[in-house]
Amino acid sequence: MNRPRPVVIAAIVILQAVATVFFVGDAVTDLLNAPSAPHSLLEAFVAVALILGVIFAGWQLRVTLERLRSQERALDTARGALADVISAQFDAWGLTPAERDVGAFALKGLDVGEIAELRGAAPGTVRAQLTRIYSKAGVTGRAQFAAWFVEDLLETGLAVAEIDRCGAATGQHERPQHRET
């Protein structure tokens, strides 16, 4: 689903504001010429409604943009947190550099043949590496391996990422321990 771009929404709000100024000017002129005429009173009421509509639309645009920025920051944090969780856990499991590569490709959803091709290795080698990774992780297969990281991210990963980011700003890089399975 395509969302309207904030610039387009802002342009519409500006166009509404310009139209409102024109309409308010016309309503004021009519009120000055015939203050009690029903047409003048109706135009004055509509002018007030237009002003309130433009104010509300501008406020909603601001709220929407703030929410969008907040969601983008949360998504960036989650991406960084997952990478941090994966790296820390690979360290904790003592994966070799080759196992780390194979594990990362497995988490990305690549099959044994694709991993073997990317690494320039035999499929049997990749299968053996995956077996060692699963053993070190205490899981029985790819689904449990991937689920381990999703569960960890949901439980502690985002909090750890915030601690890491705060620690990076203060020069402290101590990291809480992740669970072992």
Mean pLDDT of 145-149: 86
Nearest one of 165, 161, 160 to 176, comparing CA atoms: 160
Domain boundaries, the chain: 6-71, 75-170
Place of tokens 């771009």: 5
Cβ within 8 Å of residue 37, ≥6 positions away: 30
- Helices and strands, number each (H, E), in the chain: 7, 0
Contact 161, 86 (CB under 8 A): no
- Grade residue 178 by pLDDT with cuts at 50, 70 and 90: very low
Task: Say if residue 49 is exposed, middle or buried (CB neighbours under 10 Å; 0-12, 13-18, 19+).
Answer: exposed
- Whether residue 121 is predicted with pLDDT greater than 90 in this model: the reply is yes
d(CA 96, CA 83): 17
pLDDT, tens digit (0-9, with 9 covering 90-100), for 62-83: 888 888 888 887 777 677 777 8
Looking at residue 153, the DSSP 8-state letter turns out to be I
DSSP structural state of residue 2:
P
CATH topology classification for 75-170? Arc Repressor Mutant, subunit A (1.10.10)
Rounded distance between C-alpha atoms, residue 179 and residue 155, angstroms = 10
**Banded pLDDT at 177 (limits 50, 70, 90):** very low
